[in-house]
Amino acid sequence: MHGLINRAIQAFVCSTYGVSRWRDVTDSAGLGFSEFEAMLIYTDEQSQKLLVAMEQVLERPLPEMLEDMGTFLVSNPQVEALRRLLRFGGVNYVEFLHSLDDLPDRARLAVADLHLPGLELLETAPGQFKLLCQSGLPGYANVMMGVLRAMADDYGDLVILEHSGTQDGAEVISVMLVETEFAEGRTFDLGVKLP
Amino acid sequence: MISLSQLADMAAKIAPMHVLLDSEGRISRVGPTLQKLRADQDWIGRPFLEVFDLLRPRYIQNLDDLLRTSGAKLHLKFRDDPQTGLKGVLAPLPGELGAFVNLSFGISVLDAVRDYDLTSADFSATDLTIEMLYLVEAKSAAMEASRQLNLRLQGAKIAAEEQAYTDTLTGLKNRRAMDHILERMISTGRNFSVMQVDLDFFKAVNDSLGHAAGDTVLQKVASIMVECTRSIDTVARVGGDEFVLIIDNLVDRAKLGDIAKRLICQLEEPIPYGGQLCRISGSIGTALSATGGQKNAAQLLKEADMALYAAKRAGRACHFFYQPGMESVDLNEEVDDPSTAAPVAAESNGSQTSGDA
């Protein structure tokens, strides 16, 4: 699994539970190291061990933690770059949802060897959507759920999100847009001084 | 036929940075995004070439020249600040009614977005600018992650090199490091001295009190040597109880003698270990880089070694400088005849220093 994904998990656990707990997790996973490099590739087995160890050591259901991680990735100032990249997807939340189809391609455009499973948005009725998360990355739909929730806050929209089973092997998240511009979202300037 | 006004309304959606010119070359309509770049400016009626400075093609002086560029790429910039660079293309309107010019930022888009506070809505839906901005940020972020990785690898490399040049027990340089430093100093042609130091009675400490005691003694010895030398000097442990000191920019025998004397004196201070006192001393042989012109590292070390041997022969806790002729003693070492060594030691008395003094 790509180092960026492992590194994201590391950033989330360190920021939420602290560095010493993170070391407990990597010790328990028996990785032999505790720092992931964002630009290196790790085996799927290593990442799998990491997720198992997280659940055991941190004593929380993994789906819950992964959803929090999705939220963390969008809302934590540490990873502001990612939030900005997602905001390039559209000027409002609905446009952003439609841009998710392109997300794996966009990711690959930025980092050539970063492969994310496909995403497909279906509009079932005005303001109602289904997001199909293809398989290939364990917990992908959980993380996406957190991302969708946090992005709604970012745009200032009120949405209801729900896991609604699987469809043709893909996990389905249903999205209901309750109110747009429900709250003041965060600002987004196209042109920001790059560090 | 659509009217010019209808054309302009359509163009506002598709090419929000367009300009319509009348038959005189004056601006008659401006797209909404272009308008935003000079929000307070009254565009209508101003000559196009007065607002924009046409950089390429260079020959353009007047409207006729401009109209002849039809379809070619134009490079222009605003005449007033900020002088944002633009690209453009012109198509003459039928019936000599003027021209349609479409503009874009080209590579200046990154600055333009900042300078003019542009948003997605300012670009046509088919314009790739937003994608380009996305790519610039995504690549910058990826590049930054790679840079961080390189920095960490660089740090790890330095640490590994450091380790490869360090004696882990004492933290002093090791033989490999000493060899490098010696070579470097010789090649730069500077003056320096090489002191070969051998501990006396160290084997006795090791044998009677054990290796742990020996390690403690070596660590203490290391700190004594560092204290007795300057930060520009090199202290290396090159063998079990053998050390080499490279004293930079100093070939004065009196000063070197003082250093050796002080060193031996401090080595003789008993070192406490587990309720016991370890007593050692040291013998020192010194060779100078300056005497006899260029010497290579092996030669210098050999001279220092011979001086050390003479010091050992003269009894413990002595310091000798190398003198030509010591080689003969070295040869006699094999027959191990103390009577031949004695005269050399006596001969060298002038440069001998003793820790007992």
Q: What is the ipTM of this complex?
A: 0.77
pLDDT at residue B169 greater than cutoff 50: yes
pTM for this predicted structure:
0.64
pLDDT at residue B337 greater than cutoff 90: no
User: What's the farthest any 2 CA atoms get from each other in chain B?
Assistant: 124
Helix (H) or strand (E) holding B276: strand B276-278
pLDDT at residue A91 greater than cutoff 90: no
Q: What is the pLDDT of residue B310?
A: 93
Establish if B169 belongs to a structural domain: no
Cα distances (angstroms) measured from residue B216 to each of A85, B103, B268: 58, 79, 15
Q: What is the pLDDT of residue B335?
A: 37
Q: What is the pLDDT of residue B120?
A: 84
Distance CA B252, CA B240 (A): 29
Q: What is the pLDDT of residue B293?
A: 58
pLDDT tier at B351, thresholds 50, 70, 90: very low
Q: Which of B131-135, B158-162, B197-201 has the highest mean pLDDT?
A: B197-201
pLDDT at residue A59 greater than cutoff 60: yes
The per-residue pLDDT for range B31-70, each reduced to its tens digit, is: 999 999 999 999 999 999 999 999 989 888 888 999 999 9
Q: Which residues pair with A123 in a beta bridge?
A: A129
Q: What is the pLDDT of residue A180?
A: 80
> Does residue B26 or residue B114 have the better pLDDT?
B26
Chain B residue with minimal CA distance to A190? B119
One domain, residues B18 and B138: no
Distance CA B301, CA B210 (A): 31
Q: How many CB atoms lie within 10 A of CB B43?
A: 16
pLDDT at residue B291 greater than cutoff 70: no
Establish if B170 belongs to a structural domain: no
Q: What is the pLDDT of residue B161?
A: 86
From the list B113, B141, B146, which residue is nearest A190 (CB)?
B113
pLDDT at residue A23 greater than cutoff 50: yes
One domain, residues B194 and B70: no
Distance CA B6, CA B69 (A): 25
Give which of A151, A155, A159 is closest to A176, Cα–Cα: A159
Cα distances (angstroms) measured from residue A118 to each of A41, A46, A129, A165, A188: 20, 23, 16, 17, 26
One domain, residues B114 and B255: no
Listing DSSP states for B169-189 in one string gives TT-SB-HHHHHHHHHHHHHTT
Residue A111 to residue B144, Cβ atoms within 8 A: no
One domain, residues B160 and B186: no
From the list B133, B141, B148, which residue is nearest A88 (CB)?
B133
Q: What is the pLDDT of residue B344?
A: 32
Selected residue of A190, A192, A194 to mutate for chain B interface (largest B Cβ count, 10 A): A190
pLDDT at residue B336 greater than cutoff 70: no
CATH number of the domain where residue B302 is located: 3.30.70.270
Mean pLDDT of chain B: 87
The per-residue pLDDT for range A94-121, each reduced to its tens digit, is: 999 999 999 999 899 888 899 999 999 9
One domain, residues B148 and B179: no
Whether residue B141 lies within 8 A of chain A, CB to CB, comes out as yes
Q: Distance from A138 to chain B by nearest Cα, in Å? A: 24
Mean pLDDT of chain A: 91
Q: What is the pLDDT of residue B356?
A: 41
Distance CA B329, CA B343 (A): 10
The number of folded domains in chain B is 3
pLDDT at residue B345 greater than cutoff 80: no
Contacts of residue B351, defined as CB under 8 A and 6 or more positions apart, other chains included, come to B253, B257, B319, B320, B321, B323
* pLDDT cut 90: percent of chain A above it: 76
One domain, residues B154 and B238: no
Domain hosting residue B290, numbered range: 175-354
Q: What is the pLDDT of residue B329?
A: 60
Contact B207, B302 (CB under 8 A): no
Q: What is the pLDDT of residue B142?
A: 87
Residue A190 to residue B130, Cβ atoms within 8 A: yes
One domain, residues B321 and B197: yes
Which tokens in the block code for residue A148? Answer: 């969708």
Q: What is the pLDDT of residue B292?
A: 52
Residue B137, amino acid: E
Residue A190 to residue B119, Cβ atoms within 8 A: yes
One domain, residues B184 and B242: yes
CA B6 to chain centre: 63
Please give the average per-residue pLDDT across A49-64, as a whole number: 96
CATH number of the domain where residue B11 is located: 3.30.450.260
Q: What is the pLDDT of residue A88?
A: 85
Which tokens in the block code for residue B190? Answer: 């500077």
pLDDT at residue B247 greater than cutoff 70: yes
One domain, residues B303 and B345: yes
pLDDT at residue B77 greater than cutoff 90: yes
Q: What is the pLDDT of residue A193?
A: 58
One domain, residues B147 and B191: no
Q: A70-179 adopts what CATH topology?
A: H-NOX domain (3.90.1520)
Q: Distance from A63 to chain B by nearest Cα, in Å? A: 28
> Does residue B352 or residue B140 have the better pLDDT?
B140
One domain, residues B263 and B287: yes
Q: What is the pLDDT of residue A90?
A: 85
Q: Quick one: DSSP state of residue B93? A: P
* pLDDT cut 70: percent of chain A above it: 98
Domain boundaries along the sequence of chain A: 3-60, 70-179
Establish if B338 belongs to a structural domain: yes
Establish if B328 belongs to a structural domain: yes
Phi, psi of A110, deg, nearest 5: -80, -45
One domain, residues B135 and B117: no
Please give the average per-residue pLDDT across B18-43, as a whole number: 94
Place of tokens 């009626």: B45
Q: Distance from A189 to chain B by nearest Cα, in Å? A: 7
Distance CA A137, CA A134 (A): 8
Q: What is the pLDDT of residue B230?
A: 93
Vertex A19, ends A13 and A20: CA angle to 5°? 115
Establish if B192 belongs to a structural domain: yes
Residue A11, amino acid: A
From the list B117, B133, B141, which residue is nearest A81 (CB)?
B141
Whether residue A110 lies within 8 A of chain B, CB to CB, comes out as yes
Please give the average per-residue pLDDT across B325-333, as a whole number: 63
Total CB pairs under 8 A between chain A and B? 62
